[in-house]
Chains A and B, each alone.
Chain A
Amino acid sequence: MNNFSFSVGGRTLYCLIFLGFIMSFPPLLAKNHTRQGNSFSQQHKVQGTITDGSNPLPGVTIAIKNKKNNVVISDYSGQFSLTSSPYDTLVVSYIGFKTQLVPIQGRSTVNIVLIDDTTTLQEVRVNAGYYSVKESERTGSIARITSKDIETQPVTNVLATMQGRMAGVSITQTTGVPGGGFEIKIRGQNSLRADANQPLYIIDGVPYASDPIGFNQTSTTFPTVTSPLNSISPESIQSIEILKDADATAIYGSRGANGVVLITTKRGKEGKTSFTLQASTGTGTVTKFMDLMNTQQYLEMRKKAFQNDNTSYKARDYDINGTWDQNRYTDWQKELLGGTALINNITGSVSGGSNKTQFILSGNYYTESTVFVGDFLYKKGGSQLSLNHQSDNDKFRLTFSAGYNFQDNNMPAFDFTNDARSLAPNAPALYNEDGSLNWANKTWSNPLRNLNAVFKSKTNNLVANTVLSYEVLPRLFVKSNFGYTNLSTRETRINPSTIFNPANNITSARSSIYINNTTRSSWIIEPQANWSKEFAGGNLDILAGATFQNQNSASLYQSGNGFPSNSLIYNLAAASVVTILLNDETQYKYQAIFGRINYNWEKKYILNLTARRDGSSRFGPGNQFATFGAVGAAWLFSNEHFLKNSSWLSFGKLRGSYGTTGNDQIGDYQYLDTYSIAELPYNGIAGLQPTRLYNKDFGWEINKKLEAAMELGFLKDRIFATAAWYQNRSSNQLTGIPMAGTTGFTVLQANLDAVVENRGTEFTLRTININSVNFNWTTSFNITFAKNKLIRFPGLESSSYSQQYRIGQPLNISLLYNYKRINPQTGVYEFEDLNGNGVISFPDDQQAVSDLNPKYYGGMQNQLSYKQWKLDFLFQFVNQKNRAYLNGVAGQMINQPSRMTDSWQEVNDNALYQIYTSGTNSDAVTANYLYSRSTASIVDASFIRLKNISLSYDVPLQMKETKCLIMLQGQNLLTFTKFKDGDPEFTTMGFLPPLKVITAGVQLTF
């Protein structure tokens, strides 16, 4: 598996060749797979068409009752043919429809109309990681989306596909720059350490490390360093399951505390070899600009500021001292962020196979430019292969899947959003008449200088997995999973001398480059055995297995300074000084044993026990091993006699679970007392620096999860509702405790005897509003009310967290000064002096609590279809507070939101904002600082957003076996919010918000 590699240089070419290969492949070649059949003594040919009443149904399984090896699948026109004996009975089954038994009764043409059966959604098998369960029989809390939901969205990040669609899963996009990241929290923040709240990602059984692969000196474009999750291609995904409660996650033990994201890639389907090609193109623009001051308002502010300060304009106050044209106005947001990103996506796949062997091979290529000025492009592509095979006697099964992806990103090294918001509106033009950058006589730093500071990133990613399984005895399966991942990334950021004003005569001798080379590879082996047996009137399922996992990471961070020419800047050999900032290799080893016992009595009472014992190299000797486990139970009361034939209640289940999971996201080697190599030498000697404060005695963070849930289906499940209540408590908090700098460091890794609780309720409702031959309308709704709370923290008041947390309050709070008013005499903000000492002091007066977690969030999805038309749209809503935009002191040479025009002008003014100052009124500067940390700085940032809309039309074609779909998709098209300062979805101010995307595309299947 690990020698599975592709040429690195020609990936683009590779994809094109691959697509060409798909297109040129004659579909006829693979046709003979479909009509398999054994010869029978009495041969009878049966053919027919399967429809749903109006349209033909492809992919329907037609088998013959009590005859094993005679199964066919209907083709794209819904047709099938097989050989049987004349009085056999056909078993016709298809997901979403009721299985029918059709006696042949000597006929040679049997046309079958399948009847929609929503109840069978309960029959879908849900992936729970090491095992799968029927939706109706699961004891754990598992949310799920499938390719049907993913394909309607013009997005490239796997986390984006889930936004607003799953209860209990909160996802925020952190930047609209392509290649940027998302933040995910499954049922809230469990760990005090902000970067230890990542769920465990598993792709086709292989754990996928989500730790960042970027370096803060190279990936400066994004608010957080590069995440590897962009390497996963949404097109290749069949389903995403999120495991939330103890019953589902305890089998992942130490890594399950923050939930588990299971990604299953697409599998081949038996039947005719089919080809799918899809191409789409579209545009992206900024959702919402801030309302900033225009030149007139801005200059009035500046003039007033100097008037207030009673000072005169200084030489450097170019905007107002006459140096710059005061009649000039530039909308810098429009100028710098107002472009249109072009998006192109092309995907193709070929799939098919016999009933013993199926395959799918797919490829995709995606490009996205930016809304910034300049020629920047994000490219992403890859291919995915999946192969299933089973032996003739069905005892041996093999599944192989491999996905390879590359990303090639080329972006400006700095987001222009901050410049766009802060530049004076009468700042000079960007370009001179001759097209060169305008430096306006050295009176400003042209923001476009940063176009020359380029961030480039290339990432290659391979995930491969093989599962071999063998039925040793009837109902005893032995299997093993062999997985391999390999990721390599190379990022560069250049700082060429051309980012400086050429008049300063700065030459390439001052140019510099930062380079990050990071590789990560891992392997995993998981032998397992699975045994099931009828036992005491019920069914007993036992699973036992072990995990051996090894992950190696290597990072090399370098910088080069001083080049003979800027054209040699990417050649380190040309640098006068090459500095190795970090050269490190780390190893993470992990081993575990796990088991599951499931007992299902008459599909009424189900008990599920799971456990795992984990060992991790991230802990010191004596702390390496720990055991986790959970018990889950379900009662399907709708299967009880008294409800069995209820006309209104079609499904009813009560389930609950309790158990423990852990968290080992602490980084490697943190328990060692070491010195590490310093960045820069002294006197030619590579320095040795103390790495950290030494603490070897830390262990696992423990997360106890409790859940109770009810699932109800009414009127043949046309109305299906679930309600879940959960309470997760994290203790033994493993955290970098902020330390006073007097200790020599500002952080110490240790277990803290603090308890964090996440408690919430999740509701989902799915209604089939209309279900007729031509018109279908389904609505899905989910809402989550979540509350995060710090329950216990002995010694909080004397600890370093004393000004960060409060017992009984969420972790994500802000402690704030209580804003009172503007002093009518001085025009300066005033705050409540809680301790009454006459001055506003820290920390005593900074005690007002504001909760920045969403109160509730969710989404409502509607799927409508009318004949060939399909419309799917999703509204996402979040009720939350966030920080208002504040940048500098109003009156300085920084543009401000136009709302700031309502400033204090004279004694007894009743204004919203304080007196302007050019910066010399130090009372106002201090008050502004306090204001930015006061209750006035927290505003309502709730929003309702048309997150996704997708319209498709299935073009009626006369050509047999060909399907043509025309699609129109949109993302973030409408946003309703009270938030005044740009888009309400952000984690860090000053970065490009998520884009509004519209794409159009065609999908061809033949």
Chain B
Amino acid sequence: MKTSYIPDRLIIFFLFALTVISCDSFVEVDLPKSQLTSEGVFKDFATADAALTDIYAKIRDKGILTGQNTGISCQLGNYTDDLVAYGTPTSTTVSFYNNAVLPSNSDVADYWNASYNQIYAANAILEGIAENISFTSQNKNKLQGEALFIRALMHFYLVNIFGDIPYIKNTDYTKNSLVSRMPAAAVYENITNDLKNAIELLPTSYSTTERIRPNKYTAQALLARVYLYVGKYVQAANEASSVLNQSGIFPLTKNINQVFQISSKETIWQLKAPVSGQNTQEADTFIFLSAPPAMTSLSDNLVNSFASSDLRRLNWIKEVKEENSVFYHPYKYKEQNFTSSSVEYSIVFRTAEQFLIRAEARAHQGDLTGAKDDLNKIRQRAGLLDTQAVTQSEILDAILCERKWEFFTEHGHRFFDLKRFNKIDEVLTGIKPGWKTTDRLLPIPQSELSANPNLRPQNAGY
């Protein structure tokens, strides 16, 4: 230290001065390129609308209504008597087919989680635009109406798949993480209220020619189905009539081969493919070009139940021969590959269902002639003679059969119908060795019971 003229104290001061130099602003960063703040999203109608339409993309691609082989069109088809599954024993499709669905099943977790995620997104829109005063009331009503419709739609499927479920109306995770299950009747109550509000808010017109966003009639079509499921037949018939009365907008498509095309007037709401030229995931899931099929085929049971002249048997089912054996696949959606422009979208609501809803509702009310009229509309389109059913129970049986032929592999209709008619044990016990009466509800996902004790106990049988 002989040449140091700088006192040690100064050095120490210098050392610690160095440590004090700090600028807080250094650790501030810009927003990532792929994100917008929530506040920003709801300042502008275009971005709020993009948040809403994304829910349709999510419904199309993930969870209950997706046309992929994980969705209910495929899995509940396998679960009932529509389809037969192939593939490795560990695949989820085979476990649905064997009626051996476990609480750890990844598709079941998807039905639950994806649906509540879609409900969250709908609630976020309702909350985001609630305070907004800059949107025109027309735009605001449209967003609110569609969000309410989505919320009702997803809860409708959840209650039918899982039984008692929570009805989620906000985005507050502190509450929603510990919600309890609500009796199914109360869930339906909420669904009905949301749909009534949606019907008030939604326009009667479609925003594009393609019927890819729900309007007032779509909400009415769902409400008709909801009333039917809860046994409010007068209201069910009324709501179905409000749709069917618009016969100029929703006529039955005459040509059986055009029912599932984009331009079909019968369509009330369909989910648009992501990219122009792309067609439905259903076609991809069900169609096979050579036998034996890799994943699923239509059950012989179903195929043989059609009258040989039934146009649906001839046009909505395709057979694939392999030496001595014949396999069948659904051929409602016919385009598996890319086309120069898309020809088919995945249809969620169509007029035929409204006729059969009204037929069933009328039959229950004792209006047997009206019921048969509606039923025969569907039979005539399929090239069949009018129904021979006479008594109320015969007519109801005929309706159940007609629904099987009309809606096979469409969004679990068969499963829900068998449950509603209380015939599921009777029909499936003979055909499905694994069927138990407790299989009418799927298990609540294991992860969900772990995460929220208030959802326990598990559904019976799991």
Give chain A's interface residues, CB within 8 Å of chain B. Answer: 309, 311, 315-316, 422, 442-443, 445, 473-476, 501, 503-506, 509-510, 527, 529, 531, 533, 542, 544-546, 548, 562, 576-577, 579, 582-591, 593-595, 613, 615-617, 624-625, 668-669, 672-678, 680-691, 693-694, 738-746, 748, 797-798, 800, 802-804, 841-843, 887-889, 892-894, 919-920, 922, 925-926, 929
0 or 1 for each of B99-127: is its CB under 8 Å from A? (1 = yes) = 11011100001001100110111011000
| B133 interface residue (CB < 8 Å to A) | no
Contact of B28 among A506, A617, A686, A739 (CB under 8 A): A617
Contact of B51 among A589, A617, A675 (CB under 8 A): A675
Q: How many A-B residue pairs have CB under 8 A?
A: 300
Contact of A585 among B4, B32, B337 (CB under 8 A): B32
User: What distance in Å separates the Cβ of B138 from its nearest Cβ neighbour in chain A?
Assistant: 19
Contact of A589 among B27, B168, B275 (CB under 8 A): B27
Do A672 and B35 touch (CB < 8 A)?
yes
| B455 interface residue (CB < 8 Å to A) | yes
Contacts of B88 in A (CB 8 A): 422, 893-894
Do B177 and A893 touch (CB < 8 A)?
no
Contacts of A582 in B (CB 8 A): 34
User: What distance in Å separates the Cβ of A613 from its nearest Cβ neighbour in chain B?
Assistant: 7
* Bound CA–CA A678/B35 (angstroms): 10
Name the interface residues of B34-90: CB closer than 8 Å to any CB of A: 34-39, 41, 47, 49-51, 53-54, 56-58, 60-61, 86, 88-90
* Bound CA–CA A613/B24 (angstroms): 12
* Bound CA–CA A893/B87 (angstroms): 10
* Bound CA–CA A583/B33 (angstroms): 8
| B385 interface residue (CB < 8 Å to A) | no
Contacts of A748 in B (CB 8 A): 173, 177
* Bound CA–CA A681/B271 (angstroms): 12
Q: Enumerate 17 A-B pairs (CB-CB under 8 Å) in ascending A order.
A: A546-B21, A583-B34, A593-B22, A613-B22, A669-B35, A674-B36, A675-B35, A676-B34, A676-B36, A678-B57, A682-B54, A742-B176, A744-B120, A744-B123, A800-B177, A919-B100, A920-B434
By Cβ-Cβ distance, the 3 closest A-B pairs, closest first, are A744-B120, A687-B54, A800-B451
Do B30 and A843 touch (CB < 8 A)?
no
* Bound CA–CA A594/B16 (angstroms): 10
A584 and B32 in contact, given A595-B15, A843-B450 (Cβ under 8 angstroms): yes
Contacts of A583 in B (CB 8 A): 33-34
A740 and B34 in contact, given A589-B29, A689-B121 (Cβ under 8 angstroms): no
Contact of B18 among A546, A682, A693, A798 (CB under 8 A): A546
Contact of A587 among B30, B36, B176, B208 (CB under 8 A): B30
0 or 1 for each of B427-462: is its CB under 8 Å from A? (1 = yes) = 000000110100000000111111111011110000
Do A738 and B50 touch (CB < 8 A)?
no
Do A587 and B4 touch (CB < 8 A)?
no
Name the interface residues of B1-37: CB closer than 8 Å to any CB of A: 1-4, 6, 8, 11-12, 14-16, 18-24, 26-37
* Bound CA–CA A585/B32 (angstroms): 6
Do B113 and A741 touch (CB < 8 A)?
yes
Name the interface residues of B319-342: CB closer than 8 Å to any CB of A: 322, 325, 337-338
Do B448 and A843 touch (CB < 8 A)?
no
Give chain B's interface residues, CB within 8 Å of chain A. Answer: 1-4, 6, 8, 11-12, 14-16, 18-24, 26-39, 41, 47, 49-51, 53-54, 56-58, 60-61, 86, 88-90, 94, 98-100, 102-104, 109, 112-113, 116-117, 119-121, 123-124, 166, 168, 171, 173, 176-179, 208, 210, 212-213, 272, 274-278, 288-292, 294, 322, 325, 337-338, 433-434, 436, 445-453, 455-458
Contacts of B213 in A (CB 8 A): 683
Do A682 and B274 touch (CB < 8 A)?
yes
* Bound CA–CA A625/B15 (angstroms): 21
* Bound CA–CA A926/B98 (angstroms): 12
Do B20 and A593 touch (CB < 8 A)?
yes
* Bound CA–CA A449/B168 (angstroms): 46
Do B19 and A595 touch (CB < 8 A)?
yes
A615 and B116 in contact, given A529-B15, A589-B27, A682-B272 (Cβ under 8 angstroms): no
Q: Which residue of B lies closest to A750 (CB)?
A: B173
Not counting A544-B16, A740-B451, a sample of 20 additional A-B residue pairs whose C-beta atoms are within 8 angstroms of each other reads A473-B6, A531-B15, A579-B274, A585-B32, A590-B27, A593-B20, A617-B29, A668-B29, A669-B31, A676-B35, A678-B57, A682-B57, A687-B57, A743-B176, A744-B119, A744-B171, A746-B447, A800-B452, A894-B89, A920-B433
* Bound CA–CA A576/B38 (angstroms): 34
Do B325 and A689 touch (CB < 8 A)?
no
Do B338 and A562 touch (CB < 8 A)?
yes
* Bound CA–CA A381/B182 (angstroms): 62
Do A443 and B89 touch (CB < 8 A)?
no
* Bound CA–CA A586/B29 (angstroms): 9
Q: Which residue of A lies closest to B179 (CB)?
A: A742
Do B445 and A798 touch (CB < 8 A)?
no
Contacts of B121 in A (CB 8 A): 689-690, 744
* Bound CA–CA A675/B50 (angstroms): 10
Do B272 and A683 touch (CB < 8 A)?
yes
Contacts of A594 in B (CB 8 A): 19
* Bound CA–CA A509/B339 (angstroms): 11
Do B113 and A746 touch (CB < 8 A)?
yes
Contacts of B119 in A (CB 8 A): 744
* Bound CA–CA A595/B18 (angstroms): 10
Do A585 and B33 touch (CB < 8 A)?
yes
Do B120 and A690 touch (CB < 8 A)?
yes
A475 and B1 in contact, given A577-B277, A842-B103 (Cβ under 8 angstroms): yes
Do B288 and A743 touch (CB < 8 A)?
no
